[in-house]
């Protein structure tokens, strides 16, 4: 299971491409089917455990198919701007 402390953002730009959308649908469907089969085997799963497993399946699938969003941090100020004054 992936433990995350910060909010993870996925690269949604790939969702503009039909092939990536189809890949995401298929992979997510496979992950959720596996999760459902596991839940049927374990009849007495707690709702919180179900939610954690669902969230993990969704997160790992998006990370695998879409990848994480790249952050481009801009400098607050540059030496060029400081020297202009």
Q: pLDDT grade, residue 81 (50/70/90)?
A: low
Q: pLDDT grade, residue 55 (50/70/90)?
A: confident
For residue 47, pLDDT beyond 80: no
> The domain containing residue 67 runs over which residues?
12-72
Kindly give the interhelix angle for 47-65 and 18-41, rounded to the nearest 10 degrees: 150
Under a CB-based contact definition with an 8 Å cutoff, are residues 58 and 27 in contact?
no
Q: What six digits make up the tokens of 22?
A: 């189809």
- 69 membership: H or E segment, kind and range: none
Residues composing the chain? 85
Within a domain: residue 31? yes
When divided into structural domains, the chain yields a total of 1
Question: Dihedrals φ, ψ of 32, to 5°?
Answer: -70, -35
Within a domain: residue 35? yes
Within a domain: residue 21? yes
Q: What is the pLDDT of residue 14?
A: 75
Statement: the pTM of the whole predicted model exceeds 0.85: no
Within a domain: residue 77? no
């Amino acid at each position: 299971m992936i433990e995350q402390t910060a909010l993870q953002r996925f690269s949604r730009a790939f969702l503009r491409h039909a092939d990536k959308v189809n890949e995401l649908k298929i992979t997510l469907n496979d992950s959720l089917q596996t999760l459902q089969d596991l839940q049927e085997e374990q009849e007495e799963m707690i709702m919180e455990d179900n939610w954690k497993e669902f969230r993990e399946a969704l997160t790992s699938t998006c990370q695998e198919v879409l990848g994480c969003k790249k952050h481009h941090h801009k400098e607050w100020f540059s030496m060029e701007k400081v020297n202009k004054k």
